[in-house]
């Protein structure tokens, strides 16, 4: 049977019309699904029992559950989610004194082969549905409330997979998370991260996306970027600069350039200059990320992270240094690899 959460409000309404049910029930069902996170028709207590039985006869729930969870010494919680078909994905709860963030996945595995990222060494098995993405948010929010007594403040699409290669489901999940009939979260509290699919960045802008946008840049020289991120061969820095300029012109939102600083790869003075030159092509801000080693690659964190930041600041760029969270449980940036069993 079809997962009812694959239907939009109009499709639920059409089903109720066919059954001779009042159409206002469709919005009640929709709110049960997306405001209250129901995964059982019997929980929908304002519906009649005959209607609940009819829903059971025609639809199902492809439920996502928490398989295992692991808590870091710094409070970060990494979660392995069990999907309905047996696949597993990972997400992360990142609490700080000022905010509580969910990092969610968009695909089972990844197809982009980034050399410094553990997920890049996995096979891409399939895209996630919008419901599976929202389920991660719902379950991580429950962990935030249980462990820290507060709800999520932010959502980042920075987990496993490339969000813009699962565009329709990602955008539907954003709609469900920001809709008044769903989570009603402000789009300004959501960030979509991409390894750089230029035409899809432009599509985001054309489709009126109101979230934040982050580009996983990691090198501002085509040869060096292609060596660690093969996607650059078909989406060059010139193409990305054009698409990010277009994004800013359409949305007025500065894109963030994510730059993991790796010893001997992209941490020299020339790389500072390259990054500064790229960042000036459009209004932007830069997040410098501490590299987190993985067993599959022979890269090391730089000793120049702070010096690199000072060099960019001296060039009057907006720079933030992101310190790693959850390294002891392989939950930090670039470390998600489905190690939890």
Q: Which residues are catalytic?
A: 90, 333
| Three-state SS at 58 | helix
Separate counts of helices (H) and strands (E) for the chain: 10, 14
Q: Tell me if 259 sits within 8 A of 266, measured CB to CB.
A: yes
Q: How far apart are CA 36 and CA 51, in angstroms?
A: 19
Q: Tell me if 5 sits within 8 A of 61, measured CB to CB.
A: yes
Q: Name, in order, each residue with C-beta under 8 angstroms of 177's C-beta and a sequence gap of 6 or more.
A: 134, 137, 155, 183, 185, 190
Q: How far apart are CA 132 and CA 77, in angstroms?
A: 19
Q: How far apart are CA 136 and CA 257, in angstroms?
A: 25
Spell 328-339 as b/e; 16+ CB within 10 A means b. ebbbbbbbbbbe
| Angle of CA points 335, 340, 341, to nearest 5° | 155
Tokens of 313: 């600041």
Q: Tell me if 88 sits within 8 A of 65, measured CB to CB.
A: no
Residue-level length of the chain: 341
Closest CA to 266 of 232, 296, 235, 243: 232
Within 10 angstroms of residue 114's Cβ, the number of other Cβ atoms is 22
Q: Tell me if 240 sits within 8 A of 196, measured CB to CB.
A: yes
Tokens of 188: 């300004």
Q: Tell me if 113 sits within 8 A of 105, measured CB to CB.
A: no
């Amino acid at each position: 049977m079809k997962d009812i959460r694959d239907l939009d409000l109009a499709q639920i309404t059409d089903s109720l019309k066919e059954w001779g049910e009042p159409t206002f029930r469709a919005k009640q069902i929709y709110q049960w699904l997306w405001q209250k996170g129901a995964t059982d028709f019997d929980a929908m207590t304002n519906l009649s029992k005959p209607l609940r039985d009819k829903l059971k006869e025609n639809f199902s729930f492809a439920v996502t559950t928490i398989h295992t969870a692991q808590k870091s010494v710094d409070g970060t919680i990494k979660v392995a989610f069990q999907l309905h078909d047996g696949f597993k994905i990972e997400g992360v709860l990142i609490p700080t004194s000022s905010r509580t963030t969910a990092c969610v996945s968009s695909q089972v595995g990844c197809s982009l082969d980034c050399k410094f990222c553990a997920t890049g060494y996995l096979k891409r098995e399939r895209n996630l549905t919008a419901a599976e993405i929202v389920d991660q948010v719902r379950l991580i929010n429950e962990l935030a409330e249980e462990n820290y007594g507060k709800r999520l403040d932010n959502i980042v699409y920075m987990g496993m997979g490339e969000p813009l290669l699962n565009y329709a489901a990602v955008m539907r999940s954003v709609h469900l998370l920001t809709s008044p009939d769903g989570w009603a979260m402000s789009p300004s509290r959501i960030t979509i991260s991409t390894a750089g699919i230029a035409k899809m960045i432009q599509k985001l802008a054309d489709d009126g996306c109101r979230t934040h946008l982050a580009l996983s840049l990691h090198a501002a020289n085509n040869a060096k970027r292609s060596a660690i991120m093969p996607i650059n061969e078909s989406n060059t820095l010139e193409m990305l600069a054009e698409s990010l300029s277009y994004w800013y012109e359409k949305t007025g939102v500065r894109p963030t350039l994510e730059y993991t600083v790796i010893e001997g790869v992209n941490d020299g003075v020339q790389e500072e200059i390259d990054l500064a030159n790229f960042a000036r092509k459009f209004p932007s801000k830069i997040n410098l990320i501490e590299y987190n080693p993985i067993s599959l690659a022979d890269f090391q964190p730089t000793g120049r992270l702070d010096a690199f930041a000072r060099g960019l600041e001296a060039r009057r760029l907006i720079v933030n240094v992101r310190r790693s969270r959850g390294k002891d449980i392989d939950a930090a940036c670039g470390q998600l690899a489905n190690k939890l069993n």
